[in-house]
Structure 1
Amino acid sequence: MNKDFREIGHCGGKLRVDVETGDDDSRAYSLGYSHSSAGPAAFFMIYAIPQGIPVATISTPGLGQEMPPPPVPGSFPLIIASDSEGRFGHRCESCGEYWRSSGAPSAWPLTCPYCGLRAPTHAFLTLGQRAYVSEFCELIESAVNAGESATIDMDALADKVGEDTERPRFYYSEVSQQNQFICGACGAWNDVLGRYAYCSSCGTRNDVAELVLAIARIREQVNGGGAPDECVKGAVSAFDTAAKKIADELIRLVPMTTARRNRLKDKRFHDIRARATDINELFGIDVFDGFQQDDIDFTAMMFHRRHIYEHGGGEVDKKYIEESGDISVRPKQTLRETKENVHRLAGLVTKMVRTLHKGFHDIFPAHPTPLKIEAEKQALMKSRQLGYR
């Protein structure tokens, strides 16, 4: 079953606005949220001004702690709950794209997986969440003015969804995307459109992880008897895609002259020596860092072979010999690829993308807070495992 773009309902529960009237007829209110279904649920809190405009993400207080003051006096604290999978939908106001994630942090900003914009969680509300915020603000005002408490039964509203009626007020749902991945740097879960993206929690790109998956499939293919020449094409193509994604982001984000930008813009990585020189001179990232000269020569040769396999039916021409430096063949000879070459190439392209990835994040670092939290969690888990031995 295709799970792309599947509607995912609200997690349900009941939201309460409890209003109390004092002896002097002054009124105060508090919010409550209860959830009794078996499915997962999560929530975060924001401040919004009475007109329904979000202005801050609230650091949820613990027991006995007071709510932090709003940045705008008179703002309402609001609860925003997750979908029925315990995930949150987000929408970037800059690029207009949508995604889901496992968290809605208040201690650090979210990152748009597509354009890389960093902003507080409340700046990435979906259209459905924004409509809910507006309705919720209106409910609080009317409840306080009337001096009467109010309850929103999201379970009852969810039951009405799908009926041949207008979608209920306050109700919002989310939509699954195409690529669900767990960030290797901070452990956050993401659900994005397409393959390549930033982690929305820490901002680490997933290019290396996607390449590693592709290379693993290629190794499995060649080990299972797949044609080595096809595997060479696959390995070079996987590298070209991942490397170009990183290069495109560097071009987009690093200020430079048009002439310098055009050195890489719309360029593929088939001529790996030329592209490596461009990237090193433009961004100070040595794609061949840690390579021996033999590794560089082999990589360049295999990239040229990919072109012969793709466009020449595997038959060598004079241009290939001149550009690749491969003196083991002569014009008109058909290349005979080996499994060993595929595995060597697979390791080298992975190493190059790791270098590009590291160089990118040297320029545009991931957010340190979620990385620190994940490192502390992993250290704790490791210490517990050692304690059980």
Structure 2
Amino acid sequence: MGTPDPRPLAEAFKGLYAKPEHIDYAVIDAFSEGAYAGNPAAVVVLPAFKDVSWMQKVAAEFNLSETCYLVKRSTKLVEGDTVTPQNESSDDSGVSTTAASSDDLQDGSQEGTVSAPEADAQAKHVIHEYDLRWFCPTYEVDLCGHATLAASFVLFETGLVGKKETIFFHTRSGLLSVRTVGPEIGDAQSSSAEGRSTPAMEMIEMNLPWTTTTPSTLSSVETLTETLKNVEVIAVGKAAHRLIVELGSKEDVENFRPNMQELMQCDSEALFVTASGGPVSGYDFVSRCFFPKWGVDEDPVCGSAHCALGPYWSTKLGKDNLLAYQASKRGGTLAIQVDKKIGRVYLRGQAVMVMAGVLLK
């Protein structure tokens, strides 16, 4: 008796991948060093955006906290190594190209393939522009950090973008820049803040908008009687229609059990609970995030939440570089640096690809 084929469907499915009408996708676990942790996001690569109804149905089919769609715009050479959305000189795309940007490179150009004299190449930087949209299972959202990390990971991991090159995503939250940083690559040069450090391992760094948190009174959470009855509430804030509740301890966050019906009825679209990491955890703060109105009871690791939580804890702790842990069942780690000079939040994380395939319909 012969040895059975360990992948009996591989040959049968081989023809599916060659059909041009089928669409590539990958599922990425973001803010995690290993598979089946962090926050999963589906990344769908399209030649052009499809009908919103179709994109929403696909997001509901994946039923992950986020599904994102990528469409390529261009690849360009720009002068200098410092390329940020905040630069004053911009072309009509919003990306700074200074006075001597080149024509678009061929699609898929990779690190080391740019044809230019060596001296001139040292003064130029390759950027890739993509349109990016995010959908939770119920509707399109304005910003998703973990799906942005997932989309970036797909581009870097597949070689569509070189590890020393920059991605600019055109989104509903403006222009977002992403690069890889690490001991073999060096630190990103895109921040004006001081005290940046090169991580010990390769990570993806996202330049995201700052979300301001304003203090709120305890009366703003008085309807959450069941949700907050067993915890100590230190402070309450509002950040872009989302409720931030600081609890008394890391253990309060870890053991938190919200009443989802109360969250559905409150006047905020989401609830973030957070607390100091304490003296021995190794983290500056911990958090958990709940979005039942979006069809996501608990978001395992929420990047956009840390656009508010990062500045909140930066002010409270008096430091700009923070290490955070989202204490969901899956769990995830985020390195955060807030830049008060330009009002941006830099999130660093790792990711793992756990699925890849094609959409047939």
Normalised by the size of structure 2, how large is the TM-score?
0.23
Query: Higher strand proportion, which one?
Result: 2
Normalised by the size of structure 1, how large is the TM-score?
0.22
Query: Higher helix proportion, which one?
Result: 1
